[in-house]
Structure 1
Amino acid sequence: MTADPITPVLTKRWLSPESWRLSTYEQLEGYTAVRKALAGTPEQLVNLVKASGLRGRGGAGFPAGVKWSFMPQNEDKPHYLVINADEGEPGTCKDIPLMMADPHSLIEGCIIASYAMRSHHCFIYVRGEALHCIRRLNAAVREAYQAGYLGKDILGSGFDLDITVHAGAGAYICGEETALLDSLEGRRGQPRLKPPFPAAAGLYAAPTTVNNVETIASVPYIVNAGADWFREMGSEKSPGPKIYSISGHVENPGQYECPLGTTLRQLLDMAGGMKDGIPLKFWTPGGSSTPMFTAEHLDTPLDFEGAAEAGSMLGTTAVMVFNETVSVPWAVMKWTQFYEHESCGKCTPCREGTYWLAQVLERMVDGRGTEEDIDTLLDVCDNILGRSFCALGDGAVSPITSGIKYFRDEFLALCDKNRAEQPALAGAAS
């Protein structure tokens, strides 16, 4: 198998007729990797995934093989594999299309990963609003059971695995892995204090690994074609293909599979350019919780290192594109209202901070801001960043701090408007 930079890997079955059916999947190399994997040992699989350099596709970019290796070797307690299919990050829309178009690639990845980590029960936690996706995934799991790919003694290997599809109730916080585990256990979704980490005490206090949909769906391809093939795509430290979700002011928004390290300039070419030819103003590389970029970052390589070096994060590669008609303070306010609404309230910096950030931004966008408000916003952001229980707090401050960094004049203009009106009001009062 040679890796042509434009040969689809993760999305290669998406346009096939009835691509979600087991019959289609089996015609297109489906369930060949699982046979290969079950013939080897769990250690061999963990080492293969380590060698491939596959990194978590859920946002943090942690090496998947290293994460798998944290699972204990013994089986004195049950081991669990949990798939984070919550996908609630604004702008992110890669996992749900993947599960809709090719659910069996996720299921095959789950079988291989479960075998590698000596897990006999896998849970797929899907965002509750994605009803069609949940139905399709359930149908695919039923097909896999009927064909002998799930259940007892899979393909005569002696390995048993059950998969449970669990629907969440639409809470952004449940995308955080420990809040997801609390939710799976039937409790309110709130982040846990770490340590202990899930690998030591996760679901039901047993060893657990939580992985993203796209991460696990990549595994069958690595098993079939090898680590060297996977490393031919992407960059040295961020190898492999990636699904970029492009939304906003582009001619053809959608999912674009490219090697990691692709730039926004290249993505815009694929997406037909800026909508109606109106120039680019700002964009996010990985959803609203990653610091925004401007037109000067068009050639930033969108891999884990490139995005970080330019002052943002790759996140979930949710590329939201905004043209010059959009007010930055307005967009930042909208995102902040989302974070205020979705804060679980467990820790004070995030619960109180997002509330005040939203209040100040609403007042500024309404034309009643002062110059001091900008300092207040940055001060509150400083009190949230790194001080909250989970990454929601850090994500909530990203649009504000980056928005003020690149577009401070727009925030000041809201204050100028306020100052210009004050003398008239004072005159009216006298």
Structure 2
Amino acid sequence: MIIPVINKIDLKHAEPDRVAKQIEKVFDIPKDECIQISAKLGTNVDQVLEKVVEKIPPPRAKLSDPLRALVFDSTYDHYRGVIASIALFDGWVQKGDKIMSSYTKKVYEVNEVGILRPDQYPVEKLHAGQVGYLIAGMKEVKEAQIGDTFHLQKQPVEPLAGFKPAKPMVFAGMYPIDQSEYTNLRKAVEKLTLNDSSVTVHRDSSPALGAGWRLGFLGLLHMEVFNQRLEQEYNASVILTAPTVPYKAVLSSSKLIKEYGEEEITILNPCHFPDRLHVKEYLEPIVTGTILTPDDYIGKIISLCQSRRAVQKNMVYIDDHRLMMQYLFPLNEIVVDFYDSLKSLSSGYASFDYEDAGYQVADLIKMDIYLNGKCVEELATIVHREKAYSTGKAIAERLKDTIPQQLFEIAIQAAIGSKVIARETMVGT
């Protein structure tokens, strides 16, 4: 059930009637059903509350059925462990019950249950139809996955539909600027991941940058927020490598298949990119991107999308001046600077959103970066063959501007295998 609400009608330039027509066009909800409110002034807020009572059905709860509880949020408390927010669909739960997670299959003993008023208020029992919290000695938030189902240990039930574990889509290497800060940075990363189960952490090391980690994030914004929290909350200075996406390779070499234990492998680090001789095909992740923009910028945006190897799926006007465009994008093409370019081209008016659309076959190659003939593994990247030359030239030029000037000449080369495709030379002082 959707209740359409248009807020901020008190603003000078608000056009609620135009927005109501857009809602009718895009979502097929009659414009007469839209409630126009001002949360600041309190205008028509009472109508929203009445509609919630009138239209949203009460929970279909069965006390007699075995416990079935949905986890919809979780937080970490340093003294009590993970606090899971749950909605009970069937049965009841109380202190002392042995419960099990449908996803992890781990068993816990309930230490406390309660409701939110909005602060936590312990109660003896939570029953079907209620929303509350549960503490059961879970050590990490990864044990309370959003969308997971809890049930009694001795009474297994069918999990609630729609659960998908969080899947990292962007990976980057993180290293301390000074290796003496490694221990402090490790503690900071551990503390941050206690409250963010979607970040994956794998230890990594590099000859040039020392010991560090390979981190997986849900997206570029997620990565930037994580990095900013490290800097602001823990005063940590880090080196973050260029973000990459998870590619896949279907192996043809029986030796490699035996080594990895499977025919299709996922490549999170460009350093582990298998040679073409041992691979049937490479796969890259794709996303369905939706762009909303005024029609004044349509030509520039189409050119931008085409330059990112996008395939147009749909284009429709949602009112007289705004249109919605849908494209299939390779994730690697939008993960770094696409959003900034879109905002720049549209003077900030265009909006962009995307969702996972699986994998597709792609002509991928690994590009190495050499400094004075020595390969720097941390700068290696995976690119599409069509974009190899332009990407290599851009990286070489960027490195030329970034590397501090030395007393001797430095040759910066981008190479595919043994073939150099771009070169810049830093002249010594």
> Normalising by the residue count of structure 1, what TM-score does the alignment of the two structures yield?
0.23
The structure with more strand, counted as a fraction of residues: 2
> Normalising by the residue count of structure 2, what TM-score does the alignment of the two structures yield?
0.23
